[in-house]
Structure 1
C-alpha cells in the first residue's frame, strides 16, 4: 500500500522564516523611541525663575511673584521708543510694528505725536497713581504698547470695561464717558498687563501701590478697573504667539523680568 504524500507548500514560508531567524537574517524588531528628557521652556522657568512661586496661591503667590519680577533692568522713557520697535514688531514685516488697539501694521519710523503716527500708550494710565514717565512704572514696557495717536487720546486715562460706542477709526474698540473696551484680540493682553503692574508695584520702591478694583472713574487714585471684567477678558483671550514672544523679548533683551500671567494665566484666579 503506497503512502500518501502530504502537501508541504503552505508550510514552506514558516520554515523559511524559522531558518532566517537561526541564520541571523530576520528583520530587526522596531526599537521603541525613548521619551524626550528635554524640559519644556515653561517647565524650565518653573524650575528656575518661578521656583519660589510654584505651589502658592492668594497673597503668598502675589508676594512671591512681586519679589521675582521686581528684579529687573529699567529703561528711560526715550529708550522705550526703540524697545517697542522690537517687542511689538510685525511678524510679517520686520520694518513695522503692530498697534495695540487698531491692530494695524505701521512703519517703525512713523512714531511721534502727530495724527496718523503711533506713540507710547501706558495701558495702566500713568495718571492712576500719578507716576508720570519717570523711570519705573512710567517706563515699564510690560505695559507700554504702540498705539495710534488719536486712539490713544480717545482712550486717555479711562478705566477698562465693556460697552460704549464703537470707534470709527478703530473698529472693534468701544468707549463711553468713563471706560474703554479694546478689540477682542487684545482683551487678554490688556488684562494681563494691568495685573502685572498690580503685582510689580506694591508701594515699596518710592512708587504708589497699584491695585485693580471693580470700579470705573478711579481718577488719580492708584487703582484701575474693572477687575471682574479684566479677569473675564484674560480667560476669554488667552496668550497668543505674539504676546508670548513679546514676553520673551522683554525678558531676554530689555528688562530681564517676565509677566507671570502670560506664562501662567491661571495665576489670575489664584490671586484674585
Structure 2
C-alpha cells in the first residue's frame, strides 16, 4: 500500500539570495529562476505510440480501443510459463528467487512444482470461469499468472474476490470463506488490475469466452468474476508499485509484447467501469 510522505519545504539557496538582494537594493543581481523542466513524462512515449488510439476516450469506446491494442500479442505455452514467471516475478533483492503473490514470500526459482512447500502457477482469473483451462491464450497469459504457494493456491481455488472470511493458514493477511478470497493488502490492486486486464483482452472474438467482471461471488463456471465494486476499490487503494510496473515492462519487452493498461493508467478503471 502507498505510504504518505510529509514534506518539509526549505527555501532554496537562489531564493534566499534573491530575498537578500531585494533587502540590500541589488535585486537586479539576483539569480534568474530556473527554466521549467521540458523532460517528457514517463508515459508520454507510450501514450504517443502504444496507447495513441485510446487516449482521450472513455466507457465502451475506451474498452474497445484497449482491446484492439492489447490483443496484438505473442503467445507462450503453459510449459513456457514456468520460465516466464521466473523473470516477471523475480525477487529484486535476490535474483535466484521469485516472490509469491499471496504469501509475499521469496522462494527459490528452482522450487517450483506441485508439492507442498513449492510454488506453482496461479491463474488469478480462475481458469474454470469461462472454461479456458490451460489453453494457449487466456490459460497461458502471464498478465494474470503469478507464482503462488501450492497450498494457498489450492485454498483460493476458483473463488471470486471479495472482502472478509477467516485467515488463510500460512498466508498472513489473506482471508477466505465459502465463496470468496481476499488477498493481502500489498497485492489487492495487483489482483484487481489483472482481472480487469483479462476482461478487456478476452472479448469472445478469438474462440474463447467473453470474460467480464460482475458484482457477484457465485459465478461458478460462468465467464465472470466478482466482486467488481470491491476490485475497483482495491485498485484505488493499492496503486501500482515498482514491482508491478517492472513486471508489466518485462512481459511487454521479453514475452507477450502487450501491456496491462491499468498498470500504466489506473484511472482507466473508473473510466470504463
Shorter-normalised TM-score: what interval? 0.7 to 0.9
**How far apart in 2 are the matches of 1:91 and 1:159?**
30
Task: Say which SS state the counterpart of residue 174 (structure 2) adopts.
Answer: strand
Rg bigger for which structure?
1
In the TM superposition, what are the counterparts of 1:224-239 in structure 2 within 5 Å? 224-239=225-240
1:9 paired residue number: none
The whole-number CA distance in structure 2 between the counterparts of 1:37 and 1:67 is: 32
Q: Deviations over 1:112-146 (max 9, x none)?
A: 00000000000000000000101000000000000
Deviation of 1:41 after TM superposition, in Å, equals: 2.4
Larger CA deviation: 36-45 vs 155-164: 36-45
In the alignment, the residues of structure 2 paired with residue 111 and residue 40 of structure 1 have an alpha-carbon distance, to the nearest angstrom, of 39
TM-score normalized with structure 1 length = 0.88
Q: Equivalent residue of 1:121, what SS?
A: strand
User: CA offset at residue 34 of structure 1?
Assistant: 4.5
| Aligned residue in 2 for 1:183 | 184
User: 2:34 & 2:270 partners in 1: Cα distance?
Assistant: 39
Residues 8-34 of structure 1: CA deviation (Å, up to 9, x unaligned): xxxxxxxxxxxxxxxxxxxx9857654
1:101 corresponding residue in structure 2: 102
SS at match of 2:172: strand
Partners of 2:210 and 2:85 in 1: CA distance = 25
CA–CA distance in structure 1, aligned partners of residues 164 and 102 of structure 2: 15
Correspondence 1:133 to 2:138? no
Aligned position for 1:90? 91
1:106, distance to aligned residue in structure 2 (A): 0.2
CA distance in 2, matches of 1:31, 1:213: 56
- 1:197 aligned residue: 198
Structure 1 residue runs of 5 or longer lacking an equivalent are 1-27
Distance 1:232 1:35 in 2: 36
SS in 2 for 1:94: strand
Distance in 1 (CA, whole Å) between partners of 2:203 and 2:42 is: 28
After TM superposition, list the pairs within 5 Å mapping 1:7-26 onto structure 2.
Answer: none
Distance 1:136 1:223 in 2: 17
Residues in 2 aligned to 1:38 and 1:48: alpha-carbon distance in whole angstroms: 17
How many residues align? The count is 245
Offset, 1:231: 0.3
Query: What's the offset of the Cα at 1:150?
Result: 0.2
Match in the other structure for 1:8: none
The answer for unaligned runs of 5 or more in structure 2 is: 1-28
Q: Which residue of 2 aligns with 1:4?
A: none
Which residue pairs with 2:245 in the alignment? 244
Counterpart CA distance in 1 for 2:218 and 2:158 is: 9
1:219 corresponds to 2:212? no
